[in-house]
Amino acid sequence: MKFIKTIVISATMIFSFAAFAHSGLVKSSPAKNEMLQGSPQVLALTFSSPVRLVKLTLKDGGGNDIKFGFKPKMQSSNQFSLDLPQLTPSSYSVSWMIMGEDAHKMKGQFNFMVHKAMAKATEHDHASHSHD
Ligand SMILES: [Cu+2]
């Protein structure tokens, strides 16, 4: 009985790995947890295989939706690049949802941070805030 249980657990783990490897975000700009001096101009996402980007939202530290020109497209691609408006200093969270060619949906989320553009990067003081 114990032997059977072990097999079931192993099979579940293998299946999870397969689902994870299916298609996912491999690169972004700004990168996950990146700290920027000043507003980024674009939000760029690279996925491991062609997908449809069905949802993409950007929220500031106060939970406000930042409007930019994202519209879901019918064509699949593994790269997406969207112009951003001027972002004020805050922490931002990006949420995305993709649909693979087999209609498999996957979503994820990452954060980045915009600091005031400074003459000297060394003036940046981390005592006032934290990053996660
Ligand atoms: Cu910082």
H/E element holding 19? helix 2-22
Please provide residue 4's backbone torsions phi and psi, each rounded to the nearest 5 degrees.
-65, -45
What is the whole-number distance in angstroms between the Cα of residue 130 and the centre of ligand 1? 7
**How high is the mean pLDDT of the chain?**
84
Higher pLDDT, 20 or 130: 130
1, HSE (Cβ side, Cα atoms, 13 Å):
0
Contact criterion met (CB below 8 Å) for 54 and 101: no
pLDDT of 123 above 80: no
Instruction: State percent of the chain over pLDDT 90.
Output: 61
pTM of the model: 0.73
What is the whole-number distance in angstroms between the Cα of residue 128 and the centre of ligand 1? 8
Confidence (pLDDT) at 20? 47
Q: What is the mean pLDDT of residues 54-65?
A: 97
What is the whole-number distance in angstroms between the Cα of residue 70 and the centre of ligand 1? 28
What is the whole-number distance in angstroms between the Cα of residue 79 and the centre of ligand 1? 28
